Amino acid sequence: MGKVFLVGAGPGDPELLTLRAARLLQEAQIVLHDALVSAEILTMVRTTRVIDIGKRCGAKLLTQEEINSLLVAYASECEVVVRLKGGDPAIFGRAGEEIEALLDANIPFEIVPGVTSAIAGAAAAGLSLTDRRFAASVVFTTAHRGRNAEAVAWDKLVTSHSTLAIYMPGRDYQKLTGQLCDAGLAPSTPCAVISHAGRPTQQVRWSDLTSVSLLESLPAPSLVIVGECARPPHGLQNPVRHGFASGVVDFTIGEPI
């Protein structure tokens, strides 16, 4: 009987992997990975048994039940099985369902944390999610829940002292910001949209809830950070000179140093 490691691949930059994650990629006899895992990280895998089980544009290669069954089956023949997930495996990664399947089959497992995209996105934008001048908490949420799940209760998540980190915002920013304003946020509330955080292709767009609907949707994976902490850092950009006060500010951050 082998062991299954639920490993966080982080936002895509191999240098942001934990040392433990990097070592497991070398030791694994088989790796099952999501679509968001970068090609650079997959080159670190030593074994040739690498299986893509990701979802693209809403189309799944395998159902979650089939993925669970694969983990159980491979653990019976491999000593080290790596389930490689983008970001952190326990943040919107359906790790809970996989853990239940492993427990039911009496298979040992371990969660290896990774840098989740909210943290990587804040770093890309130069933001402090819990700047004590503006926020006492940060909320990780998603704009889209699973099938048959209740709609996001934005009115319960929005507070004057919280930063919202919204995963999977979708392409319709106008719908999302309308929901946030209906929940009680002021239209002038700052927000930042971050795409491909932590990668050379990362982009950051500054706006507010009034103007963010004017933005073209950015390539996935992306997220939206909303709240007073989402203002452009002082000295990084001049918000008035670059139009933050009256419209959309758009700039691209180059490759990480």
**CA 65 and chain centroid, separation:** 23
Annotated catalytic residue 60 = no
Q: Which of 3, 52, 55, 208 is labelled catalytic?
A: 55
Q: How much is the pLDDT for 248?
A: 45
Rounded average pLDDT over 15-26 = 97
What is the band of 89 on the pLDDT scale with cuts at 50, 70, 90? very high
More confident: 247 or 140: 140
Residue in 13, 34, 88, 208 annotated catalytic: 34
Q: What b-and-e string marks burial along 218-235, b requiring 16 or more CB atoms within 10 Å of the CB?
A: bebbbbbbbbebbbbeee
| 55 pLDDT more than 90 | no
- Convert the pLDDT of each residue in 208-247 to its tens digit: 998 988 887 788 889 999 999 999 876 554 443 333 333 4
- CA 251 from centroid of its chain's CA atoms: 21
- Which of 36-50, 148-162, 172-186, 230-244 has the least mean pLDDT? 230-244
Domains located in the chain, CATH noted: 3-112 (3.40.1010.10), 117-251 (3.30.950.10)
**Beta strands 80-85; 30-33: pairing state:** parallel
DSSP code at position 99 = H
State mean pLDDT over 180-192: 94
Q: Is 104 a catalytic site residue?
A: no
Would you say 174 and 213 are in contact if contact means Cβ atoms under 8 Å apart? Answer: yes
Q: Is the pLDDT of residue 143 over 80?
A: yes
Find residue 10's DSSP bridge partners: 87
